[in-house]
């Protein structure tokens, strides 16, 4: 599931807009890169994994996370000042969640880091909605036929993150040890923990 020509067109338009802003004196050369570098420096799936580990070890936090994801992650210092709403959806014994953005690639960047190429691809964006079980199998995630799969479509205003099921036998692990078990794909729903 690779990117497409649409990505190149968007990149050209972004570079042109940046050049126009520099020509008009709105920004200096390199200022946009500095802001993006600072933003991306704190964006990592480690952040989402920390949120998950806290939810696995603190029932009150888990309840807040599922009720108001934005406020709950802000408690841990993530997504401060964000205008986007974060909704966290929980995997259970009977339901598995997976996220997508069918229009583009909206994604909770501060919690999951830069999105993988396949997440932005037209193949993933269209197929995971139509045939989620097959797409998940391609990622190596085989779910029982009795498991319901819910696909959540992100938007410019709302982002989603999956709260994976806590693995059995991890009761004695610390938050840091639990966080180390959680991958970016588990936060998207294309992998288990």
Tell me the per-residue pLDDT of 90-99, one tens digit each, with 9 for 90 and over: 999 999 999 9
Is residue 176 included in any domain, yes or no? yes
Q: Do residues 27 and 50 both lie within one domain? A: no
Instruction: Give per-residue pLDDT as tens, 37-88.
Output: 665 667 899 999 999 999 999 999 999 999 999 999 999 999 887 778 999 9
| Residue 36 confidence (pLDDT) above 70 | no
174 carries an active-site annotation: no
105 carries an active-site annotation: yes
Residue range(s) defining the domain that contains residue 24: 1-41
- In the chain, how many domains are there? 2
**pLDDT score at 3:** 43
11 carries an active-site annotation: no
Q: Do residues 104 and 173 both lie within one domain? A: yes
Q: Do residues 47 and 37 both lie within one domain? A: no
Q: Six-digit token pair at 179?
A: 């966080």
Q: Do residues 65 and 36 both lie within one domain? A: no
Q: Do residues 13 and 72 both lie within one domain? A: no
Is residue 193 included in any domain, yes or no? no
Annotated catalytic residue: which of 2, 9, 11, 104?
104
Q: Encode burial over 41-72: b for 16+ CB neighbours within 10 A, e otherwise.
A: eebbbebbbbbbbbbbbeeebbebbeeebbeb
106 carries an active-site annotation: yes
Q: Do residues 1 and 68 both lie within one domain? A: no
């Amino acid at each position: 599931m690779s990117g497409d020509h649409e990505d190149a067109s968007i990149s050209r338009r972004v570079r042109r807009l940046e050049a126009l802003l520099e020509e008009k004196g709105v920004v200096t050369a390199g200022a946009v890169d500095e802001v993006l570098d600072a933003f991306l420096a704190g964006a990592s799936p480690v952040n989402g994994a920390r949120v998950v580990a806290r939810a696995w070890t603190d029932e009150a936090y888990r309840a807040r996370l599922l009720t108001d994801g934005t406020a709950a992650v802000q408690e841990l210092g993530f997504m401060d000042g964000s205008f986007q709403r974060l909704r966290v959806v929980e995997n259970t014994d009977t339901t598995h969640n997976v996220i997508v953005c069918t229009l583009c690639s909206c994604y909770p960047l501060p919690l999951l880091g830069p999105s993988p190429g396949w997440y932005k691809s037209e193949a993933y964006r269209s197929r995971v909605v139509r045939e989620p079980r097959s797409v998940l199998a391609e990622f190596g995630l085989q779910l029982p036929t009795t498991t319901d799969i819910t696909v959540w479509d992100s938007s410019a205003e709302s982002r989603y993150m999956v709260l994976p099921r806590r693995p059995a036998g991890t009761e004695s692990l610390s938050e840091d040890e639990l966080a180390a078990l959680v991958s970016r794909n588990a936060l998207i729903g294309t992998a288990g923990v």
